[in-house]
Amino acid sequence: MYRPRARRHGCLAGLAAAALAVTAAAAPHAAGAPAHGKDPRLQRIVRSLTLREKIAQLFVLQVHGTSADTTDPAAVAANRRLYGVDNAAQVIARYRPGGFLYYSADPANVEGPRQLAAFSNGIQRAAMAQRVPIPATIATDQEGGIVARVPPPATQSPGAMALAAGRRPGDAETLARITGRELRALGVNQDYAPDADVNADPANPVIGVRSFGSDPALVARMVTAQIDGYRAGGVTPTVKHFPGHGDTTTDSHTGVPRIGHTREEWERLDLPPFRAAIARGADAIMTAHIVVPALDPSGDPATLSRPILTGILRDRLRYRGVIVTDALDMRGVRDAYGDERIPVLALKAGADVLLKPPADATGTGVFARQLAAVAAAVRDGELTERRIDESLYRILELKERRGLFRDPYADESRIDGTVGAPAHLAAAQRAAGRTTTLVKNDARLLPLRPGTRDVLVTGWGATATGTLAAEIGRRGAATTVLETGLAPARARIGQAVAAARHSDLVVAVTNRAWDVQDERPHNGPGQMNLVKALIATGRPVVVIAARDPYDIAWFPEAATYLATYSATAEALRSAAAVLFGELRPRGRLPVSVPARDDPATTLYPFGHGLGYGR
């Protein structure tokens, strides 16, 4: 077992001494005396780095593999295409990036708690072995709900919209603190959460249930609670996506969203959660690849907009923390400029951290070219070295504040007692139990009466339908599972209808049944057709929306409708308990549900939620 305290490269005094030892050699690259009020130890580190090293420290990269020194052929081949070297340790030795971002798939960095902690420690050992030892940022997206890069046995928190349905900021804080503790036990020191977007558009394809809802005040309360929780858990929260990604029908991964809010609408709808986060002392804010003409008429996405990042975020809102770009491989930031220009423009706009450089059309990574482009911009006077130093200092200051200079390592001896601890799992289940929302109970079907014997569980998701069937079966019913997918074809719907006719009850699970727009990959009308066909059998049907609560607009004739906001095991267990009356449905809609063909008509308002007997 690796014991991190055997090596104290993380000691701030030792790091400063190492920086001092090389300051003379690096003197030609220094950008002047330390600014007044700044930590001289961190300033010496800045001056100890070459220009190329300083620029590299601004980047957070993705690598392939499940260890810092992987020799897996597929991972090595992918890393060579991206960086010209085999693995994370070699990336550090060649480039000295500021950090790494873990993914659960493509690339798959996560196998299990011990593996992930060892991976993190391997990265930190490589970082601390360099000429000037600087601990690495190790980040991931562990929002909870539908975005969770670290799977079980790690505790799975309800997602943002689910927590908002529970209306308990204390739950949001508790689950963020638990998530932070578990991530830190795995060596992860920054979480790209919470989401401060106000989901004003039900057709939003990229935010949706990742948002706490459509009410700015509610979003602000939940965001600030999670900021407190993540920091108490030992990780850096990252509030996203400034200036607000909640009112768009375009996914910034695949296109360039355009937000049509006026300046007044933006200040009323999008700004309040970010203003509250800044007042709470937010450590990091992530940008959005969105065009907001009311804030910057140039047509540049916010990530590249000086009027937005510097003019509004820095100057007007007085934000002094780290600004992180959203991933630079997303189409929302790549459409207007070449990949080499993007980091230069992001730095000119006011960003500090450059996240996840892309590969070009041939699959070759552009990180080295981006490094060279930023260095050339400094040499040509488009950027100054002092500007690079400002961002680097903010990043180092954040690492110090998070304790990484003292000890950047994961204590592998504490993993089993922390990750997925029984008390953590119980807290997640209690919180999930307060989120299930009974939207409709017109037939007074719920709670289910004794004697319900044959139950068909059908609809989206093998895991979701299987988990629900197991929970229903545990309560004495005989269950049949018929999973139909996101876009069930007519034949599969026919099979579900035939099975329904022989059942006492049908439970139909949906996932974004509303997503039937033709201009992008979609679920199609199959889920809507499935639910309508099941209702037409005359059998009692309970519809459970396992993601967005808006699905009811596509089959308003459904008499019984629950919203869980995600398909985690905790959410589905709570839904089953609500079905049988063991748990009172306490969730209230954090958004309004509009009519399908008339968005101006509200079917179910913000705050709606039923108890039994209504």
Does pLDDT of 3 surpass 50?
Answer: no
* 118-130: pLDDT as tens digits: 999 999 999 999 9
Assigned domain for 614 exists: no
How many DSSP H helices and E strands does the chain contain? 22, 18
Q: What is the distance between the alpha carbons of residues 242 and 275, in angstroms, rounded to a whole number?
A: 11
Which of 383, 418, 453 is the C-terminal boundary of a domain?
418
Eight-state DSSP code of residue 408: -
Does pLDDT of 12 surpass 80?
Answer: no
Q: What is the distance between the alpha carbons of residues 339 and 499, in angstroms, rounded to a whole number?
A: 53
Do 361 and 488 lie in one domain? The reply is: no
Where on the phi/psi map is residue 101: left (φ > 0), alpha (ψ -120 to 50), or beta? beta
Band of residue 257 on the pLDDT scale cut at 50, 70, 90: confident
In degrees, to the nearest 5, what angle opens at C-alpha 96 toward C-alphas 91 and 98? 105
CB 196 within 8 A of CB 219: yes
CATH code, domain with 124: 3.20.20.300
Do 390 and 479 lie in one domain? The reply is: no
Does pLDDT of 495 surpass 50?
Answer: yes
User: Given this model, what pLDDT does residue 4 score?
Assistant: 33
Between 12 and 183, the more confident residue is 183
Helices (H), 350-461: 367-379, 385-401, 415-418, 422-433
Do 357 and 482 lie in one domain? The reply is: no
Do 256 and 363 lie in one domain? The reply is: yes
User: Given this model, what pLDDT does residue 522 score?
Assistant: 56
**Averaged pLDDT for residues 94-106:** 95
Does pLDDT of 408 surpass 50?
Answer: yes
Do 342 and 440 lie in one domain? The reply is: no
Which of 418, 445, 471 is the C-terminal boundary of a domain?
418
For residue 487, give both structure tokens: 């876009």
Residue-wise DSSP of 235-253: SEEEEEEET--SS-SS-TT
Assigned domain for 56 exists: yes
Do 408 and 517 lie in one domain? The reply is: no
Do 331 and 459 lie in one domain? The reply is: no
pTM of the model: 0.91
Residue-wise DSSP of 268-317: HHTHHHHHHHHHTT-SEEEE---B-TTT-TT---GGG-HIIIIIIIIIIT
In the chain, pLDDT over 90 holds for what percent of residues? Answer: 83
CATH code, domain with 576: 3.40.50.1700
Assigned domain for 444 exists: yes
Eight-state DSSP code of residue 353: B
Band of residue 13 on the pLDDT scale cut at 50, 70, 90: very low
Band of residue 15 on the pLDDT scale cut at 50, 70, 90: very low
> Which distant-in-sequence residues (6+ apart) come within 8 Å of 518 by Cβ?
none
User: Given this model, what pLDDT does residue 250 score?
Assistant: 61
Do 413 and 446 lie in one domain? The reply is: no
Assigned domain for 382 exists: yes
* 556-567: pLDDT as tens digits: 999 999 999 999
Assigned domain for 404 exists: yes
Please identify which residue in the block is written with the tokens 């992860």.
Answer: 188
Known catalytic residues are 253, 326
Where on the phi/psi map is residue 45: left (φ > 0), alpha (ψ -120 to 50), or beta? alpha
Do 58 and 116 lie in one domain? The reply is: yes
Whole-number average pLDDT of the chain: 91
User: Given this model, what pLDDT does residue 254 score?
Assistant: 60
Do 97 and 127 lie in one domain? The reply is: yes
Q: Is the dihedral of CA 156, 157, 158, 160 positive or negative?
A: negative
User: Given this model, what pLDDT does residue 106 score?
Assistant: 82
Assigned domain for 571 exists: yes
Q: What is the distance between the alpha carbons of residues 570 and 531, in angstroms, rounded to a whole number?
A: 24
Which of 358, 384, 418 is the C-terminal boundary of a domain?
418
29 φ/ψ angles, rounded to the nearest 5 degrees: -95, -5
Between 131 and 9, the more confident residue is 131
Please give the tally of structural domains in the chain: 2
CB 585 within 8 A of CB 610: yes
User: Given this model, what pLDDT does residue 599 score?
Assistant: 86
Does pLDDT of 255 surpass 80?
Answer: no
Do 525 and 575 lie in one domain? The reply is: yes
Assigned domain for 430 exists: no
Do 403 and 472 lie in one domain? The reply is: no
Band of residue 22 on the pLDDT scale cut at 50, 70, 90: very low
Assigned domain for 612 exists: no
User: Domain range spanning residue 57?
Assistant: 4-418
Residue type, 405: F
Q: What is the distance between the alpha carbons of residues 21 and 15, in angstroms, rounded to a whole number?
A: 10
User: Using omega within 30 degrees of 0 as the cis cutoff, is the peptide bond preceding 293 cis?
Assistant: no
Band of residue 595 on the pLDDT scale cut at 50, 70, 90: very high
